[in-house]
Structure 1
Amino acid sequence: MNQARIAELLQPFLGISTNAAISSEPCHSEPAKAGEKPRLLSPFQLQCISTYIDILMRWNARINLTSIRDPEEIVIRHFGESLFAASHLFPTASSVPALSEASVPSVVKDFARPRVADLGSGAGWPGLPIKLWAPHIALTLIESNQKKATFLREVTRALILTDVNVHSDRAETLAIQSAFELVTLRAVERFANVLPIAARLVAPAGRLALLIGASQLHKAQTILPDFSWQDPLAVPNSQSRILFVGRRYA
């Protein structure tokens, strides 16, 4: 898919003026602060998204990864929402200079990497776009469907991403042995049943980020009273979708 068109479609989700051009700088993006011009997606990020979509379209002809078949709608509905979340969860991610995973300086690689888990990853949203935005994170994609897990591994290899683990067993087995600074959850079935599992993956003082419908907000607060919830953020170009982030009490 054309990179310029991808950039144009993603502008509303990153707070970018529709008159903005593609950045020529290889740095990762950062949402604009008051009075500042917002950063744009780098050519490397846009190329990764384009490659990701190409692989997705091939696979989607064989297995149902998404019901959306139009590439532009995929950018808006899936990548837009995911990068909106990424820009709020990691607002200073652009401080990690990377043309690609291989080019991250060794001094950056030595920093403690935030451990992030994406529960019910499916076709990789929001986990993989968050990794593209914030390449310094250590990402675990949790997907028990073996075909979808194989797809996730192929995308990870094609984009040459490091520190990405695809966990193809049930999340309950991972919760016993691992804790994460951030857990993401998006558009899963049986939301009320899955939410406590997601919470068990969150480390003390860690965050749980939900991309959900506004009607599910109260249910999340009721099921997880031991989280301190921020005000929900409306996802651009949506009448009902929100980003709802809670922090576990230490």
Structure 2
Amino acid sequence: MTLPKSRIEELLAPYLSPIPAALLPQLSLYLDLLVKWNSRTNLTAIRSPEEMVQRHFGESLFAAQNLGSLLPETLLDLGSGAGFPGLPIALLYPQIKVTLAESQNKKATFLREVVRTLEIGNVTIWAGRAETMPEDCRFHTVTLRAVDDMAAALKAAGPRALQQIVLLTTGTPDLPDGFLAEESLPIPGSHTGALLRAVRG
């Protein structure tokens, strides 16, 4: 075990409290996999397990709490990387059908391993760019976090999002045509990060 479950719960308290009892063992196992894989393939630049819990798991669960007044039925995590924020959202809300779009093969392979090991039944992985999805693949919500090119990612997100786009960002990006910023919340523990929720106008 990389960190005791009690320590994970303590680190996550600013982002989600209380933590559902069933969620802690899943997050603990996810963290173990992330640390193990990250030691041999670069999934994230963050090396400290405690910082991984705060930055990756915490911020993702903060996003999960702020998906709007009604939970989406479908969600696309665009440029999912090592699964953030999509996988923690899927773990917290098993009723949401989550698709993780990740074009880098090593990261998509890691995502498959997490889904298999944790037996997550509400997640699908698209091992490719979101732009290559069939045109009729659309989702209530699209999430974005720490993508390499936010402008390009937002351009890809617009046609996929039926209702809203949820961003974890440090800037003020230009939203796709037809979307209006509805809510902006500071991310706990971050001096510059914010959660921006934009809805289709």
Aligned to 2:10: 8
Mind listing any 5+ residue stretches in structure 1 that lack a counterpart?
Answer: 17-39, 94-112
Q: Distance in 2 between matches of 1:228 and 1:175?
A: 25
Q: Distance in 1 between matches of 2:70 and 2:119?
A: 22
How has the CA–CA distance of structure 1 residues 4 and 155 changed in structure 2, closer, same or farther, with 3 Å as cutoff?
same
The CA RMSD measured in Å over matched residues stands at 1.6
Which 4+ stretches in 1 moved above 3 angstroms? 90-93
CA deviations on 1:111-158 (whole Å, 9 max, x unpaired) are xx7111000000000000111111100010000111110100110111
Mind listing any 5+ residue stretches in structure 2 that lack a counterpart?
Answer: none
Q: Which has the larger radius of gyration?
A: 1
Aligned to 2:142: 183
One of 205, 209, 231 as aligned partner of 2:183: 231
Aligned to 1:211: 168
Larger helix percent: 1
Do the aligned partners of 2:158 and 2:177 also contact (CA within 8 Å) in 1?
A: no
Aligned to 2:174: 220
Aligned to 2:123: 164
The within-5 A match list for 1:235-246 is 235-246=187-198
Q: 1:171 offset after TM fit, Å?
A: 0.9
Do the aligned partners of 1:175 and 1:197 also contact (CA within 8 Å) in 2?
A: no
Q: Which amino acid in the other structure matches residue 12 of structure 2?
A: L
Q: Distance in 1 between matches of 2:60 and 2:5?
A: 17
- Paired residues in the alignment total 199
Q: 1:229 offset after TM fit, Å?
A: 1.2
The within-5 A match list for 1:76-225 is 76-89=54-67, 114-174=73-133, 176-203=135-162, 206-213=163-170, 216-217=171-172, 219-221=173-175, 224-225=176-177
Indicate the percent of aligned positions where both proteins have the same amino acid: 44
